Amino acid sequence: MNAPQKAQAPKTAISPTRAENYAEWYQQIVRASDMAELSGVRGCMIIKPNGYGIWELMQRDLDRRFKDTGHENCYFPLLIPLSYFQKEADHVEGFAKEMAVVTHHRLTNKDGKLVPDGELEEPLIIRPTSEMTIGTAMAKWIKSYRDLPLLINQWANVMRWEMRPRLLLRTAEFLWQEGHTAHETFDDAMFETKQMLEVYTRFAEDVMALPVIAGEKPEHERFPGAVTTYTIESMTQDGRALQAGTSHYLGQNFSKSLNIQFQNREGALEFVHTTSWGVSTRMLGALVMAHSDDNGLRTPPRIAPWQVVIIPVIRNDADKESVMAYCQSLKTEIQTQHYAGEAVRVKVDARDISSADKKWDWIKKGAPLVLEVGPRDVEGGKVCVMRRDQLDAGKKFPTRAEFVAGVTGELTAIQKNLFDEAAKFQQERLVTNITTRAEFDAYFGKPADNSFVGGQGFVRAKWSGDKQSLDALDAFGVTIRCVPFDQDGKTGICVLTGAPATQDVIFARAY
Amino acid sequence: MNAPQKAQAPKTAISPTRAENYAEWYQQIVRASDMAELSGVRGCMIIKPNGYGIWELMQRDLDRRFKDTGHENCYFPLLIPLSYFQKEADHVEGFAKEMAVVTHHRLTNKDGKLVPDGELEEPLIIRPTSEMTIGTAMAKWIKSYRDLPLLINQWANVMRWEMRPRLLLRTAEFLWQEGHTAHETFDDAMFETKQMLEVYTRFAEDVMALPVIAGEKPEHERFPGAVTTYTIESMTQDGRALQAGTSHYLGQNFSKSLNIQFQNREGALEFVHTTSWGVSTRMLGALVMAHSDDNGLRTPPRIAPWQVVIIPVIRNDADKESVMAYCQSLKTEIQTQHYAGEAVRVKVDARDISSADKKWDWIKKGAPLVLEVGPRDVEGGKVCVMRRDQLDAGKKFPTRAEFVAGVTGELTAIQKNLFDEAAKFQQERLVTNITTRAEFDAYFGKPADNSFVGGQGFVRAKWSGDKQSLDALDAFGVTIRCVPFDQDGKTGICVLTGAPATQDVIFARAY
């Protein structure tokens, strides 16, 4: 199961370890946890059962939050006529370099070879995002203030051609949701934009156990066509930032380009204010980056497809019947318990492979609680329990009744522990005492130290807002991730220029 | 709200009526029920909130059935390299004429005009179905009989270029699920193929309230590349057939083309047997076609986004507070009741439009139970109830307690009534006494009598299996829909040729 290890290193299920080679470790984790793999189509991935199972639970939770805030789901076309994009200059410029273009609508046999045929009058773009399509529909649907707010969400695949794909984090095709709303006033639209970022924040922290820093993107990092972009940024175990969700106030930019007007309460025509917001399967990458260890993924219970996995340990045919019966009835009993408002999700792994292989399989996949049940457990009315987030703590042997009574508490504790560990890590790597350019350069200047051990993190420091000063970041591959919402409002000096500066920003390398 | 009607005709919400112009009635129903509309992209539709809401409930129910039968969800790429398709001749031939082809991966500005740029080395096809992609992955994943059966499902969008699009029924892009499975033996794969058709049958009849005829497609109507195709066929109110779901036994055709081999229990290499099966948003079209009347859609309660809609009837500001409070507490009380294992889905419609407009809006959208609550109802502790499936029966005025206690029963009765009505209609239009060519020609020979009143239906008759005889059907636009599973096994005469024939088949015009 394991590649050869250095003599002293403890045995781990994933090789290399984070400390040995973080980038390669990430690839191995994604594969070993049955999350995803690259397909034969350049830059496109296959999301495998464990990855898709987590995504389904993420969808379900988010979808409920969207509906609770008044949104309805729709579905809009995959393909967007090129002419639509030409209506919004900033928007098309932002996406033109990564658009997959459909030019033909059939194949034909030419000298024994299939070639594209039936050229389209107008090329069609596979949606990189749907502002243009949904805005065009809004222009038809909205007549009066009575039609507002219009609150729509869509679950869909999108495509942005990627030159350097990376599993889950950056793929040509990915799955996401995109909210699109239209409002009467600036205030209403701004409320919505902030509300949805708060929905994402609560989801990231409470469900994914991902601590995030919420804030506003600086002007040069805004969504193409947006007036304001808000973001939540999570931290990876090599100290990089990962944008986990964004919410945009689009102002009247799109409503003017697409002529989305309404008759206001005074009877005059006005352009609506629009917003858009999205999270994607990229969040699965954030999950891996934040919660995995050298033995695989550790899935927060709230989104674990199986919260408890029971492995029958059968040594001979005589054991089989009693052990399997015990496992099945244990499963039924555990399902009577509830966690986060739902029956606990339990699986008995009855596959025809060794129990040791099963155990490591579920450790790699990150099941929060792994139980082993052998003939002696059956006899003693016990279970053997491993907590995935605390493998080093070893196995425990409660009675069956104790385990069932405590399972909700255990899952709650695991969820909390994963968040606390990630929050502690983020706190430790969030540097707030760098105030000069020399210190800044010394911190980010070490080349390619994005390792798990001793790597860099986030620098929170004052910035003057001078765009010229950003040139200094290019050499390090560092960007401003956001202007956090919590500001002290004091004037200090810009870490890049030494000029007076009031706002704190987060500097980091990013995925 | 209504277009001008003929003097004697009863007033209906949809104009024209089914009897006046069935095809146009269908378009109007889809629009008026907020199900879908055509978009600016040729042949592609927007699925609107009511249509998508129904689709979500269909998905949830089907997904549970798939998981209960052991399947796991994955997600495979949207784009398929052209070379993949060339591996299976029948398959590619079946789809070549309707493939959307991606040839470029960016846009560039050329003399002020955006044009496709970055030509791909190999064209990519937007999936019309995913046998080739998923089969390619199976070839990597499957090594031994221990990896079988491999039971995968995918929820996805697919694209088949349509020259004559029709909302919901035939659009270039549609949403569906596609199951793909691999098995050790013919028996296992055939069991799966039939099992999934049975899953579809139960779903269609018990959840969608759509009576269907299940059977096998004749050879010339099989899925491209399949050995056997099973189908369920529903009937529309103009007497046509609508294929509502299919399940294919693909034999070893795809495993041989894609080299999906496994080491069997004896240690030898063998090709797996594969199946695939799918239902799509087309079923939303079947729903409209089967259950709508001249006032709009009638949604079966099992898939109604809102099973009960409460309309506050407020005449002046003095009423408002008490009526709204009554409606909200009524909603809470109704939600304590359960139907089909879930809390009843209730909505209070608090929009700023007239209560009459609200009432007709929900009638057109097909909410099973529409309540109106005014000041007198509040005073008397009553509700005013309309059953959407029996509008002619008029309003009823139970007490609030009576309504709440009876709501589950009412929903059960509506679900049953919609099925029974559709089953009765199908039975009446299923003709079984046509035995000669002259009778057959007389029945289908009337040109274009696909009307709601007096239109044609299904002919169940013996057919010899002689493919030449099918030429006779072309003039009528009739096809063989299926060989129903229930056969009497008796030898009779072929309705087309007069030759001896044993099998009964269903002849019909189809959507």
Q: How far is CA B375 from CA B290, B324, B455, in A?
A: 38, 10, 47
Q: Is A139 on the interface with B (CB under 8 A)?
A: no
Average pLDDT, chain B: 94
Q: Is A325 on the interface with B (CB under 8 A)?
A: no
Average pLDDT over residues A293-302: 97
pLDDT band at A7 (very low <50, low <70, confident <90, very high): very low
Average pLDDT over residues B76-101: 92
Q: Is A105 on the interface with B (CB under 8 A)?
A: yes
Average pLDDT over residues B229-239: 96
List beta partners, residue B154. B178
B75 with A161: Cβ contact below 8 A = no
Tell me: pLDDT of A173 over 90: yes
Q: Is B96 on the interface with A (CB under 8 A)?
A: yes
**Encoding tokens for residue A460?**
């929170």
pLDDT in the model for residue B454: 61
pLDDT tens figures, A398-408: 999 999 999 99
pLDDT in the model for residue B10: 59
List beta partners, residue A386. A370
pLDDT band at A112 (very low <50, low <70, confident <90, very high): confident
Which residue shows structure tokens 């709501």? B407
Tell me: pLDDT of A183 over 80: yes
List beta partners, residue A501. A492
Smallest CA-to-CA distance from B400 within B339, B305, B310 is with B310
pLDDT tens figures, A39-58: 989 899 999 999 999 999 99
Comparing alpha-carbon positions, the chain B residue that sits nearest to A123 is B116
Average pLDDT, chain A: 94
Cα separation, B28 vs B14, whole angstroms = 7
Q: What is the pTM of this model?
A: 0.95
Torsion, CA A200, CA A201, CA A205, CA A211, rounded to 10: 130
Average pLDDT over residues A60-83: 97
Tell me: pLDDT of A90 over 50: yes
Q: Is B498 on the interface with A (CB under 8 A)?
A: no
Q: Is A133 on the interface with B (CB under 8 A)?
A: yes
Tell me: pLDDT of B450 over 70: no
Chain B, residues 147-176, CB within 8 A of chain A, namely 152, 156-157, 159, 161, 173, 175
Smallest CA-to-CA distance from B288 within B474, B27, B91 is with B27
Average pLDDT over residues B67-78: 98
Tell me: pLDDT of B503 over 60: yes
Cα separation, A77 vs A95, whole angstroms = 18
Smallest CA-to-CA distance from B152 within B136, B164, B168 is with B136
What residue type is assigned to position B476 of the chain?
F
For A385, phi then psi, to 5°, come to -115, 135
pLDDT tens figures, B375-392: 999 999 999 999 999 999
A to B CB pairs, distance under 8 Å: 190
pLDDT in the model for residue A503: 96
pLDDT in the model for residue A3: 45
Q: Is A200 on the interface with B (CB under 8 A)?
A: no
User: How close A323 comes to chain B (CA, Å)?
Assistant: 21
**Encoding tokens for residue B350?**
């608090």
Q: Is the peptide bond before A149 cis (omega within 30 degrees of 0)?
A: yes
pLDDT band at A2 (very low <50, low <70, confident <90, very high): very low
Give the SS3 label for residue A191: helix
Q: CB-based contacts of A488: which residues, under 8 Å, 6+ apart?
A: A504
Cα separation, A56 vs A299, whole angstroms = 14
Handedness of CA B308, B309, B313, B319 (dihedral sign): positive
Average pLDDT over residues A136-164: 96
Judge whether B159 and B125 are in contact, CB under 8 Å. Answer: no
pLDDT tens figures, B457-480: 999 999 999 999 999 898 889 999
Cα A213 to the center of its chain, rounded Å: 14
pLDDT in the model for residue A1: 38
Q: Is A77 on the interface with B (CB under 8 A)?
A: yes
pLDDT band at B487 (very low <50, low <70, confident <90, very high): very high
- DSSP-assigned states of every residue in A396-409: B--BHHHHHHHHHH
Tell me: pLDDT of B95 over 80: yes
pLDDT in the model for residue A448: 53
Give the SS3 label for residue B1: coil
A40 with B136: Cβ contact below 8 A = yes
A79 with B124: Cβ contact below 8 A = no
pLDDT tens figures, A228-272: 999 999 999 999 999 999 999 999 999 999 999 999 999 999 999
pLDDT band at A475 (very low <50, low <70, confident <90, very high): confident
Q: Is B85 on the interface with A (CB under 8 A)?
A: yes
Q: Is B88 on the interface with A (CB under 8 A)?
A: no
pLDDT band at A454 (very low <50, low <70, confident <90, very high): low
pLDDT tens figures, A318-358: 899 999 999 999 999 999 999 999 999 999 999 989 999 99
Average pLDDT over residues B280-291: 97
Which of B82, B114, B175, B347 to substitute to test the interface with A, most A CBs within 10 Å? B114
pLDDT tens figures, B305-364: 999 999 999 988 889 999 999 999 999 999 999 999 999 999 999 998 999 999 999 999
Cα separation, B95 vs A42, whole angstroms = 23
pLDDT band at A366 (very low <50, low <70, confident <90, very high): very high
Max CA pair span of chain B: 83
End-to-end CA separation in angstroms for chain A: 30
Chain A, residues 342-361, CB within 8 A of chain B, namely 351-353
Average pLDDT over residues B415-428: 97
For A209, phi then psi, to 5°, come to 60, 35
pLDDT in the model for residue A207: 98
**Encoding tokens for residue A96?**
């033109």
User: How close A476 comes to chain B (CA, Å)?
Assistant: 28
Q: How far is CA B283 from CA A142, A476, B170, B201, in A?
A: 29, 55, 11, 12
